[in-house]
Homo-oligomer: A and B are copies of this chain.
Amino acid sequence: MEDLELNANAYLPLRDVVFHTLREAILKGDLKPGERLMELQLASKLGVSRTPIREAIRMLQQEGLAVTIPRKGAQVAAMTEKDMEDVLKIREALEILAGQLACEQVSHAQLAAFEENIAAFSDAMGTGDLKRIAQADIDFHDMIYQAAGNPKLVMLLNNLREQIYRYRVEYLKDCSNHPRLIEEHRQILAGLRHGDKKYVTEMMRRHLDNQTRAVKNIIRAQE
């Protein structure tokens, strides 16, 4: 771990600021799996007392990003390849569920927004701006979640996405994937437009299987 800094939004409780800061650091890899989260150290580094640090750790723990051992303290949760596979399986099942639900109730306005998103996605790929590419991809899936109209599902999927965040970015870096990605998004959108549940299910499955395969390769390459 290196420099961590608080983005001290005046009116949020410090525990929430700390929580977001630490989460970000874990996801970006600044805090590495297995690294200890020592309260005093973090407190002095972030310029707060132990109290908000401890509460933030309890939140990270419940979210699965940290593991605490009583009287020994917390560490950044390690994620093995098996763990990642497990997460990806769950995510696939839930993303497909989201697609099916979205099929039933996606609105015209939402369909239009999907169109725009795909244009932006394609556009970003043209420029090669990784951040914009990643954001457009995230937005696409988010829009599906929203269209599904199930807030609890949205929360779960956001949490799962968080856990594969690092690898997903690597996947998007590889430009050879881009054309297929666009095409898959287009197909899913077409299915949503026609309310064709079976088709959406199948396309989502393919889309996610591709991503799953790629993410697994990345993990294997890193180890």
Copies in the complex: 2
Establish whether residues B12 and A70, one from each chain, have CB atoms under 8 Å apart when the complex forms: yes
Q: Chain B residues near A83 (CB, 8 Å)?
A: 151-152
Taking the nearest CB of chain B, how far is it from the CB of A60, in angstroms?
9
Q: Mark A142-185, 1 if CB is under 8 A from B, else 0.
A: 00000000111101100000000000000000000000000000
Q: Given A55-B54, A63-B62, A156-B156 in contact, is the A97-B86 Cβ separation under 8 Å?
A: no
How many residues in A have their beta carbons less than 8 Å from beta carbons of B? 32
Q: Chain B residues near A153 (CB, 8 Å)?
A: 86, 89-90
Taking the nearest CB of chain B, how far is it from the CB of A71, in angstroms?
8
Establish whether residues A90 and B86, one from each chain, have CB atoms under 8 Å apart when the complex forms: no
Residues of A58-85 contacting chain B, CB below 8 A: 58-59, 61-64, 70-71, 83
Establish whether residues A152 and B86, one from each chain, have CB atoms under 8 Å apart when the complex forms: yes
Can you name 27 A-B pairs with beta carbons within 8 Å?
A11-B70, A12-B70, A13-B70, A13-B71, A15-B58, A16-B70, A55-B58, A58-B58, A58-B62, A59-B59, A59-B61, A62-B62, A64-B155, A83-B152, A86-B151, A86-B152, A87-B152, A89-B97, A90-B94, A90-B150, A90-B152, A90-B153, A90-B156, A93-B94, A93-B96, A93-B97, A156-B156
Binding site for B on A (CB under 8 A): 11-13, 15-16, 51, 54-55, 58-59, 61-64, 70-71, 83, 86-87, 89-90, 93-94, 96-97, 101, 150-153, 155-156
